[in-house]
Structures are given as C-alpha cells and as structure tokens.
Amino acid sequence: MFARLFKIFSKDLAIDLGTANTLIYLEGKGIILKEPSVVAVKEDGRYKKVLAVGDEAKRMLGKTPGLIKAVRPLREGVIADFEVTEAMIRYFIQKVHNRSYLVKPRIIISVPSGTTQVERRAVKESAESAGAREVYLIEEPMAAAIGAGLPITEPIASMIVDIGGGTTEVAVISLGGIVASHSIKVAGDKLDEAIVQYVKRKYNLLIGEATAEQIKIQIGNVYPEEPYDTFEIKGRDLISGTPKTITITSKEIQEAIREPIELIIQAIKQVLEETPPELSADLVDRGITLSGGGALLRNLDKLISEATGLPVRVAEDPLICVALGAGKALDNLDKLKDIMISA
C-alpha cells in the first residue's frame, strides 16, 4: 500500500551528479534543475549542519568565515564526503517535489565509467538514504551518448567524449554496450587548477578557482588567433600581499591549459587503439561527438580532429547531454534496463 502511495506522490528522477554541477530530469517534464554541486556546511564538533546548497552555496566559495565551509562533496567524479552528498541529494529531491516529504521516487544516477564497485555503492546508498525508492546507475558515457542522440543500440560504432568537471569519459559504444572506454580524472577542474598555477607562477598573483573558471569560459581557446582576447584579473599579490589587477590574454591561457588538454587527447587515442577494426571503420565516417562543459572550450573540436584524423562534432547542448540521456533511459526503463550497471 505504501509503495503505491509513494508512486502516486513521486515522479521519477534522473540525476547527473556531477563534480561541478548537478542536473535533474523529472519524469514527464524534462530537465528542471541545474545547480552547482556545492554545499555550505557549519561544523560544530563532529556534527555538520547544512546551511545552503547549490547556487547560494557556490556564491560562498572562498568567502566564508572560520566555522562555515563551502565544500564540493564530489571530487573527480566520486563522492568525497558521503554525509554532505546525501544532504545535497535530499535537498534537490525535495526542491523538485516542492518540499513534499511524502516522496520516494525511482532514481537513475550517472556515474563515471572508471568508478569502482565501492564508489558505485556509495552513490547508490547516498540516494537511498536521501529518500529514493529504487536506484539505478548508468555510466556517464552511455548517458551522454543517448543524450547526444547517438544510435547506441545499433550495430555501428558511436564514439563519445564527455568532458565534465571532474572526469573525462571516452567510450566507443555499439549494440547497447561499451566496447572500449577510458576514464581520466582530468577535466574542467584540472583546467581551472592549471590556470591558477600559471597566473601564480608568471605573475606572482593568487586567484581563486571561481576566477580561473571565469577566465576559462571568457577567453579559453586551444587555437587563439591575433588579436588575442584579453581578460582583467583581480587577485592577491604574493610579494606585497595587497590586491592587484593584471590583464591576461587567450594565448597565455592556451599555454596554461596545454598539459591537461594533451592528456585528454591521449585518452581519446588510447580508446581508438583499443577499438576493434570493424568499428574503427565506422568511425572514419561517423567521427567523434563531444559533450560536457569542456566541449565548449573554443576550437577543441578542431584540435581533436587534427590529432585523430576523424571528424569531430560538438553535441547540440553539451552541458545537458548526460542528464538528458539518463532521463531518456528513465522514460524507457523497460527497454534500456540492460544498459544499467550494478552497484
């Protein structure tokens, strides 16, 4: 009886639990929530009190007083803080269900393909503790491929490169299964870190991750052309200790992010080497599809195409591919149950 009651009051959800952002797809409505995966926590001895989640918490990053911390509970695609992740998932579930407590939805959550059984179980248990009735897991490259509209169930190769916040997922998919894949912990966050280190090394200026992300979005380019785009940065001078402003160019950002970009290209080449020849032949015509926030980095598609000799396209809406794909899997759960993974 209770199960039937929960079903009436709960609409099923698909969650893209990302290192940088969490997106939620609500059954029958589509994507209805996109917020940063950030939680503001007040620590009182052994207890943690959640003060803010999502957009509100992100505004506090790097600006909180001693007792309050704005944390990202997921690092490199996996749960770094179980308790805070659970609180975050619960908050988002209740937010999309208008804070109703009589809610026990079925949930599909995307996880990186390189996660261990223990890491997957942690995700599943977090969602169950947060109020899920049933939890299914789907690998991120599979969800991204569905969201990008690739024909994953057909006997032809579909190659997806999903560059998120914490991980880059590279996979070749055919007949509803992943034939070859590689997951590396180099993605948007590592690009931000590389920018922070470059500015520190070259200008003796300390900037925060949020500023680095802003620089990447505004002038990040792997093939900048003259006249170079510029961006004014404010930070703390490491020599004088006072605030200082400098101007940086897109050419300098190309230099700053060169190493992590090369690692992503290496991962793509590794998967291409592991792909069976019949499927490799398909990729000559079908090429590679890019998804995730990293796909928006200017000229990245051009650079990958030059490195691999294959056509490269950016998915129609790269930021929502994983959430959209998990949502489509949710809507067709009976047909696509085989592509779910166990925890």
Q: Report whether 295 belongs to an annotated binding site.
A: yes
Helix (H) or strand (E) holding 69: strand 68-71
Q: Is 148 helix (H, G, I), strand (E, B) or coil?
A: coil
> How many Å apart are CA 316 and CA 304, to the nearest integer?
18
Q: Report whether 80 belongs to an annotated binding site.
A: no
Cis, peptide link before residue 227, omega less than 30° from 0: yes
Q: Report whether 167 belongs to an annotated binding site.
A: yes
Q: Report whether 22 belongs to an annotated binding site.
A: no
Return the half-sphere exposure (C-beta side, CA atoms, 13 A cut-off) of residue 198. 25
Nearest to 27 by CA among 134, 110, 126, 106: 106
Q: Report whether 140 belongs to an annotated binding site.
A: no
Q: 95: buried, middle or exposed (CB in 10 Å: 19+, 13-18, 0-12)?
A: middle
Q: Report whether 275 belongs to an annotated binding site.
A: no
Residues 6+ apart with CB under 8 A from 211: 233, 234, 235
Chain-centre distance for alpha carbon 272: 22
Q: Report whether 66 belongs to an annotated binding site.
A: no
Q: Report whether 296 belongs to an annotated binding site.
A: yes
> How many Å apart are CA 320 and CA 323, to the nearest integer?
5
Q: What type of residue sits at position 239?
A: I
Chain-centre distance for alpha carbon 303: 21
Which residues, listed in sequence order, are joined to residue 70 by a DSSP beta bridge?
40
Q: Report whether 213 belongs to an annotated binding site.
A: yes
> How many Å apart are CA 122 and CA 111, to the nearest integer?
11
CB 187, CB 292: distance < 8 Å: yes
Phi and psi torsions of 90, nearest 5°:
-60, -45
Q: Report whether 165 belongs to an annotated binding site.
A: yes
Q: Report whether 35 belongs to an annotated binding site.
A: no
Q: Report whether 20 belongs to an annotated binding site.
A: yes
Q: Report whether 21 belongs to an annotated binding site.
A: yes
Q: Report whether 292 belongs to an annotated binding site.
A: no
Annotated binding site for ATP: 19-21, 165-167, 213-216, 293-296
Feature table: binding site: 19-21, 165-167, 213-216, 293-296
